[in-house]
C-alpha cells in the first residue's frame, strides 16, 4: 500500500495527528499551521489505511464551501469517490437527519425551513396576536432571545421567568411562536439543531443506529461550537465513538454568537482518553510577526498554551505609528499602501483592519480622494449602510419635502402606524392629484378622521416640520446631530440590545463626525447641507470595486478570521477600541479582545503596521485614549516606532503631573477644557477627560477616574477642578 500521497507533504506534528491510533484526539492548531490539511489527510488515512468506510465517518465544518473543498481534497488524495461520507455544516447535517427521520422528530415529511426574515415576520405576528406594544417588543430582540435559548437547548417550559415580567413576556412569545411553527410545520435555523438533538435524545433506536454508523467524528473550528452543537456531538459520540476535533482556543472570538472556548478546555474531561497534539509550525507569517502574536496571547490565562514558530525568515520589524488623529492615521496608511503598490505589489494583497465598522468612514473617504479602488469585505461601504441612509433620508425630507424616495424610506421608520395599506392610499392620492407624497399626507391628514393612521400621519408631519424649523440656523454637524436625535433611530437601535444595534448607533454618531469634517466650497451654487447630501449620495452610488479589480480590502478584525495578506494594517489600536469599551472592565471580555488582536496580527504574512491615534473624532465625539494595552505587550525588539511630526507625545502610563495650578470649571470657561485634561471630582477623585460634547449649559464630559472608571458628567453641575 502506497501511502506517500497522504503523508508526503506533512511535517512531523501533522503526520503524528494524521496517523495517530483511532482514539479521541484534540488537535490544537495554531494560525497558519495547516489544520485543514491535517483534517482532510486524516479522513484519507482512516479510509485508506484504517479501512473505514466513508459511510462510517462524520465530518463537521462551519461553511458549505469548506465542506465541498474538503471532500474534493479527500477524493484527490484517494483518487476515488467518497460520496458516502457524511460531511457538512452542523445545520446541513441536522437537516439531513430530520429529513430521514421526520416521523420520529414529530414533523411532517414536507416540513419547511424558514430563514431569518421569515422568522421575524412570524414573531411580529405573535406579538400582534398577544396585543403587545410593538414599539417596545421589537421582533429582532425577541428573535435573538428565542434563538439564544434554542442554542442552549432550552424550550419555553425549561425557562424560569426569574420574577421578571419582561422575561415572562419573552417566554410567552417564545411559546406562542413555537406552537405556530409546530402547527404550520415550520423549522427555523436554530430549531434544526435543537430538533436534531431531541431526535437522538428521545429516540434510542435512532441514536443507536447513528452511534453504530459513525465510528469516527471529525470537527473543524471546534472552538466556535455553541452549547447545542457540543451536546449533539457528545450524544452522537456516545461511549464508543471517537471524536477528532481541530481548533484553536487562541482564536475563539465569537462569544457574542454563543461560541464557547470552554469546550476545548473541557473536552479532555468529557473524553478522558484524549490525546492532545499541538500544531505550532506556521506556514504564513514571519518570525517577528509570530513572536509578537505569541507575546500578546501569552497574557491570557484561560488557554491551553502553544507557541507558533516558523522556518521562514525573521522578516521586518512591526511598524507602530502614533498618529495625531484619525485623518493623520488614514493618510499614513494610504500613503504606505501607495508606496507598496508603486513597487509592483498588488493592492489585493493588502488588508486594512479595524475593530468597529464606524472606523471605515475616514479610511474610505481617504481612499476615494486618492482614487484607490477598495472593497469592504463582508459588509457595506459607510454611506451604503441602512441606518446611514435612514438618517440622511430624514435630513433630505426636512430640507426638501418633495423628496418622495426619502419620504417612503422613513415615513414608518421607526414604526409609527403608517403601514403598507396607508402608504398605498398616499401613493394613489399623489397620483390622482399630481403631487408629492408629502402633499398627499398633508391632504389626507387634514381631513378630519378618527383613524389611528390619521393620528400617526399628523405626528409624522409635526416631526418633519419641527426638524425643518429647528435646524435652519444650525451648523451642518449640529443639523445632522439634531436630525438623528429627533428621528427616533437611536432609541430604535438601543432596543435591539445586541452588537448589531450598537454598531448601528456607532455608525449614526460617526455620521455627525462626517458632517463636522465635511469640506464646503463657498463658491458652490448650493447650500452646505445640499452639498453634503450630494456627496453622500455620490459616495454611496459609486459602489465598491469589482471583485476582479486589484483593490485593497477593508474589514473588521472579526471578518478577517481565516484570511491572509502580504501586508496588513491594524488601525485604531487604542484602549476603548481594542479592547472595546464594553469589555474593558471584564477580564473574560479583555481575554476575548486579546484573542481578536491575536487573530488580526496573524493575518499578516510579511509586513504588519499597527496604528493608533492620540486624538480621535469617533461617533461625533473627540476622544483621547491611550494606546491599546496590547501594544505594550509586544517586546520592544520586535517593533519600529513611528511618530507623526504633528504629534505631541504623551506617556502611556497617563500618570498625573504635579498639581501646580487649579481652576474650577464654570459654564463660561468651557474653552479651558481639553482632551487629556487632568481633573479632580470631590466624590470620584482624580481623572482624565476622554471626550466632551454638547454646548452651553448642557455640555458634557467623559472622564476616566482612577478609582471608579469612566463617568459622563454635565459640566455645569460637576464642579470639577482642573489640575
Cβ(676)–Cβ(626) below 8 Å: no
Q: At 127, is the pLDDT very low, low, confident or very high (cuts 50, 70, 90)?
A: very high
DSSP string, 77-140: HHTS--TT-EEEEHHHHHHHHHHHTTTTTT--TT-EE--HHHHHHHHHHHHHHTT--TTTS-HH
Strand arrangement, sheet containing 374-376: 374-376, 552-556, 350-354, 565-570, 604-613, 318-323, 639-643
3-state SS of the chain: helix, strand, coil percent to 5? 50, 15, 35
Q: Return all residues near 489 (Cβ < 8 A) that are at least 6 apart.
A: 387, 390, 391, 394, 413, 414, 504, 508
Residues 31 and 251: beta-carbon distance below 8 Å:
yes
pLDDT of residue 658: 33
pLDDT greater than 50 at residue 59: yes
Neighbours of 461 (CB within 10 A): 16
User: What distance in Å separates the CA atoms of residue 553 and residue 349, rounded to the nearest whole number?
Assistant: 8
CA pair distance 581, 559, nearest whole angstrom: 19
Beta bridge partners of 686: 680
How high is the pLDDT of residue 338?
95
Strand partners, 351: 553, 568
Q: Which residues are catalytic?
A: 35-36, 220-221, 251, 603
If one compares 662 and 592, the residue with the highest pLDDT of the two is 592
CA distance 143 to 126: 12
Tell me: the pLDDT tens digits for 233-257? Answer: 999 999 888 999 999 999 999 887 7
Top-confidence residue, 675 or 288: 288
DSSP codes, 362-381: HHHHHHHHTT--EEETTS--
Q: How confident is the model at residue 668 (pLDDT cuts 50, 70, 90)?
A: very low
**Cβ–Cβ under 8 Å, residues 604 and 293:** no
Least confident of 176-190, 201-215, 510-524: 510-524
Instruction: Tell me what the pLDDT averaged over the chain comes to.
Output: 87
Q: Is pLDDT of 612 > 90?
A: yes
Check residue 277 and give its pLDDT: 96
Residue 294, all three cell numbers: 505569541
Question: 76-85, 96-105, 263-272, 447-456: which has the minimum mean pLDDT?
Answer: 447-456
CA–CA separation, 208 and 229 (whole Å): 19
Cβ atoms within 10 Å of 179's Cβ, excluding its own: 12
Residue 396 has pLDDT above 80, yes or no: yes
Amino acid at each position: 500500500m502506497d501511502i506517500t500521497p497522504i503523508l508526503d507533504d506533512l511535517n512531523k506534528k501533522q503526520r503524528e495527528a494524521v496517523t495517530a491510533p483511532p482514539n479521541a484526539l484534540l488537535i490544537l492548531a495554531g494560525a497558519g499551521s495547516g489544520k485543514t490539511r491535517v483534517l482532510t489527510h486524516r479522513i484519507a488515512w482512516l479510509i485508506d489505511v484504517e479501512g473505514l468506510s466513508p459511510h462510517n465517518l462524520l465530518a463537521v465544518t462551519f461553511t458549505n464551501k469548506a465542506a465541498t473543498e474538503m471532500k474534493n481534497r479527500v477524493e484527490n488524495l484517494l483518487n476515488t469517490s467518497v460520496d458516502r461520507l457524511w460531511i457538512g455544516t452542523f445545520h446541513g447535517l441536522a437537516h439531513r437527519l430530520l429529513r430521514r427521520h421526520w416521523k420520529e422528530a414529530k414533523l411532517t415529511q414536507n416540513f419547511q425551513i424558514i430563514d431569518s426574515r421569515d422568522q421575524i415576520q412570524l414573531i411580529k405576528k405573535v406579538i400582534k396576536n398577544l396585543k403587545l406594544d410593538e414599539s417596545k417588543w421589537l421582533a429582532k430582540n425577541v428573535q435573538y432571545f428565542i434563538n439564544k435559548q434554542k442554542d442552549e437547548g432550552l424550550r419555553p417550559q425549561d425557562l424560569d421567568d426569574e420574577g421578571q415580567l419582561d422575561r415572562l413576556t419573552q417566554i410567552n412569545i417564545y411559546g406562542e411562536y413555537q406552537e405556530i411553527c409546530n402547527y404550520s410545520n415550520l423549522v427555523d435555523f436554530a430549531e434544526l439543531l435543537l430538533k436534531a438533538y431531541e431526535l437522538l435524545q428521545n429516540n434510542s433506536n435512532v441514536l443507536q443506529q447513528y452511534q453504530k454508523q459513525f465510528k469516527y467524528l471529525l470537527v473543524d473550528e471546534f472552538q466556535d461550537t455553541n452549547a447545542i452543537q457540543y451536546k449533539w456531538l457528545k450524544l452522537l459520540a456516545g461511549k464508543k465513538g471517537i471524536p477528532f476535533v481541530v481548533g484553536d482556543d487562541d482564536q475563539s472570538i465569537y462569544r457574542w454568537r454563543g461560541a464557547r472556548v470552554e469546550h476545548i478546555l473541557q473536552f479532555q474531561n468529557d473524553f478522558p482518553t484524549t490525546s492532545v497534539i499541538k500544531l505550532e509550525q506556521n506556514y504564513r507569517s514571519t518570525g517577528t510577526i509570530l513572536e509578537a502574536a505569541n507575546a500578546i496571547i501569552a497574557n491570557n490565562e484561560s488557554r491551553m498554551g502553544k507557541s507558533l514558530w516558523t522556518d521562514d525568515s525573521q522578516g521586518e520589524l512591526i511598524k507602530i505609528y502614533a498618529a495625531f488623529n484619525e485623518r493623520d492615521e488614514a493618510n499614513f496608511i494610504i500613503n504606505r499602501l501607495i508606496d507598496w503598490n508603486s513597487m509592483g505589489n498588488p493592492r489585493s494583497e493588502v488588508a486594512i483592519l479595524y475593530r468597529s465598522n464606524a472606523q471605515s468612514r475616514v479610511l474610505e473617504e481617504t481612499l476615494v480622494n486618492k482614487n484607490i479602488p477598495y472593497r469592504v469585505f463582508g459588509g457595506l461601504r459607510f454611506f451604503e449602510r441602512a441606518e446611514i441612509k435612514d438618517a440622511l433620508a430624514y435630513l433630505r425630507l426636512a430640507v426638501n419635502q418633495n423628496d418622495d424616495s426619502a419620504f417612503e424610506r422613513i415615513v414608518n421608520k421607526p414604526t409609527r402606524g403608517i403601514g403598507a395599506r396607508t402608504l398605498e392610499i398616499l401613493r394613489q392620492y399623489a397620483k390622482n392629484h399630481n403631487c408629492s407624497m408629502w402633499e398627499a399626507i398633508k391632504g389626507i391628514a387634514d381631513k378630519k378622521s378618527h383613524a389611528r393612521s390619521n393620528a400617526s400621519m399628523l405626528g409624522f408631519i409635526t416631526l418633519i416640520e419641527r426638524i425643518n424649523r429647528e435646524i435652519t440656523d444650525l451648523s451642518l454637524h449640529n443639523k445632522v446631530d439634531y436630525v438623528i436625535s429627533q428621528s427616533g433611530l437611536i432609541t430604535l437601535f438601543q432596543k435591539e440590545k445586541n452588537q448589531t444595534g450598537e454598531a448601528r448607533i456607532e455608525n449614526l454618531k460617526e455620521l455627525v463626525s462626517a458632517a463636522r469634517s465635511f469640506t464646503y466650497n463657498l463658491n458652490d451654487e448650493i447650500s452646505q447641507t445640499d452639498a453634503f447630501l450630494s456627496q453622500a449620495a455620490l459616495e454611496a452610488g459609486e459602489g465598491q470595486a469589482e471583485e476582479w479589480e486589484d483593490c485593497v480590502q477593508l474589514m473588521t478584525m472579526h471578518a478577517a478570521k481565516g484570511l491572509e495578506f502580504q501586508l496588513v494594517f491594524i488601525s485604531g489600536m487604542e484602549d476603548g477600541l481594542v479592547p472595546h469599551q464594553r469589555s474593558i472592565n471584564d477580564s473574560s471580555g479583555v481575554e476575548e479582545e486579546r484573542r481578536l488582536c491575536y487573530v488580526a496580527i496573524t493575518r499578516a504574512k510579511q509586513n504588519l503596521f499597527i496604528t493608533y491615534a492620540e486624538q480621535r473624532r469617533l461617533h461625533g465625539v473627540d476622544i483621547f485614549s491611550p494606546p491599546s494595552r496590547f501594544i505594550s505587550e509586544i517586546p520592544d525588539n520586535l517593533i519600529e516606532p513611528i511618530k507623526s511630526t504633528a504629534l505631541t507625545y504623551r506617556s502611556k502610563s497617563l500618570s498625573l503631573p504635579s498639581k501646580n495650578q487649579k481652576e474650577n470649571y464654570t459654564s463660561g470657561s468651557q474653552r479651558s477644557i481639553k482632551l487629556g485634561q487632568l481633573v479632580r471630582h470631590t466624590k470620584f477623585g482624580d481623572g482624565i477627560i476622554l471626550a466632551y460634547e454638547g454646548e452651553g449649559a448642557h455640555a458634557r464630559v467623559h472622564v476616566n477616574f482612577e478609582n471608579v472608571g469612566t463617568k459622563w458628567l454635565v459640566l455645569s453641575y460637576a464642579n470639577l477642578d482642573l489640575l
